[in-house]
Amino acid sequence: MNNGSLNGHLKRFWGALFHELNLTLSEDVAIDLGAANTRVYLPEKGVMINEPSVIAFDADNGKVAAVGQEAKRLGRRRPRELRIEHPIKNGVVADYEAAGQMLSRFIKASSARHILRGPSLLICAPAGVTPLEQMAYEETARRAGARKVRLVEGPYAAALGADLDPREPRACMIVDLGATTTDIAVISGGGVLYASTRRVGGSEIDCAIARYLHMERTLEVSEDAAEEVKIEIGAAGGSPVGRTLAVRGRNLKSGLPEEIAVRSDEIDPLMQPVLRVIKQQVRAALEEISIEASVDLLDSGITLSGGLARLHGLAEHFALEFGLHVQVAPDPTLAAATGAGRLIEQPIPAFIREAMREEESVRATNGSWPNREDKRFAYSH
């Protein structure tokens, strides 16, 4: 038997063995690590995990009791035997040990296959992430068992997930409206012309609603109830038709559970401070980009992604404010994860492959991640 035939037999043997035992040598995984939710994308499968960024620990022994939706459900009851952590705050990693354990559980739950080597992670990060914040992402990935980690700017990934083509010479703008951050990017020719991050998002509106109900309606509500009010009856430009929603909580005077009717005209003014800051951020971007890119936006407009993009009338409100066409991404909450997933699915340019090989060799020799410039790529295809 010649060498070619032997190699072929061995290749088929190992392939059959890996299939039978449900194994894979390694896997590329795209991660959108948000303050509200974490999304895990697997190539050719899509978003497999979309769970709250919450982890519950046993208060006595410190072991992980639950993650995601189950941890959030347990946290609502405030059990004394559990410690509930939200490791992602203000759009970045606040507790890399808890974040790493949470991410490890999510990755394992996303795939039925057993990964022999640590996965290669592509993680969405805010535009303009600092070196210290980047180190927190790296440490999170390491504690999640990653073999390799790369970062991609969240709005760039969101643009891909919103079906925009960053390779086009015509500039386009993406506004990624998250729970605690708003990321803006103007993209053209495969590169980022402008990017900014502001620590403001949908969670501030939820807090404003909860505070209003507490002070004015003497009703204590959960975070989920406040968010439901925002989504169901909130509107960016005011509600043309008055809407009401039955809201349940605890009466602060009697201490008893109660259901009240909340009107949209009570809620709409509560959102304006946050929307005002976001509009200022968009206006600053429009004033800073080049004239050529600005003119391009007359055709390409602005695309909204993220959870807050679902707010009633937001696209129309922004269109009136800026005089541009404004559209919402097809699936705004999953745009960043989907875009990052598309990056790991398509062929990677040669210069990125070289950087990846260098990164692995550097880590293999000294046991640490390389510096920021080796790992953070400006993707152009």
CATH code for the domain in which residue 342 is found: 3.30.420.40
Q: Assess if residue 80 is contained within a domain.
A: no
Average of per-residue pLDDT values in the chain:
85
At residue 8, the pLDDT reads 56
Q: Assess if residue 65 is contained within a domain.
A: no
Q: Assess if residue 111 is contained within a domain.
A: yes
pLDDT interval class at 91 (50, 70, 90): confident
Section 201-210 average pLDDT: 97
Is the domain of 266 the same as that of 221? yes
pLDDT at residue 127 is higher than 60: yes
Give the CATH number, domain containing residue 217: 3.90.640.10
Cα distances from 206 to residues 12, 76, 108, 307, 322, in angstroms, run 55, 16, 32, 12, 26
Is the domain of 178 the same as that of 319? yes
Is the domain of 342 the same as that of 303? no
Section 78-88 average pLDDT: 90
pLDDT interval class at 95 (50, 70, 90): very high
Q: Assess if residue 3 is contained within a domain.
A: no
pLDDT at residue 381 is higher than 90: no
Is the domain of 193 the same as that of 207? no
Is the domain of 152 the same as that of 228? no
Is the domain of 140 the same as that of 120? yes
Burial of 149 (0-12, 13-18, 19+ CB in 10 A): buried
Is the domain of 348 the same as that of 363? yes
At residue 240, the pLDDT reads 62
Is the domain of 244 the same as that of 109? no
Is the domain of 314 the same as that of 227? no
At residue 239, the pLDDT reads 63
Is the domain of 291 the same as that of 244? no
At residue 25, the pLDDT reads 39
Q: Which residues, in sequence order, are CB contacts of 181 under 8 Å at separation 6+?
A: 35, 90, 91, 126, 197, 198, 199, 200, 201
Q: Assess if residue 75 is contained within a domain.
A: no
Is the domain of 191 the same as that of 175? yes
pLDDT at residue 16 is higher than 90: no
Q: How far apart are CA 78 and CA 101, in angstroms?
A: 21
**Whether the Cβ atoms of residue 294 and residue 330 lie closer than 8 Å to each other:** no
pLDDT at residue 356 is higher than 50: no
**Whether the Cβ atoms of residue 102 and residue 108 lie closer than 8 Å to each other:** no
Section 231-241 average pLDDT: 81
Give the structural domain span for 240: 202-270
Total count of domains within the chain? 3
Q: How far apart are CA 246 and CA 225, in angstroms?
A: 10
pLDDT at residue 353 is higher than 60: no
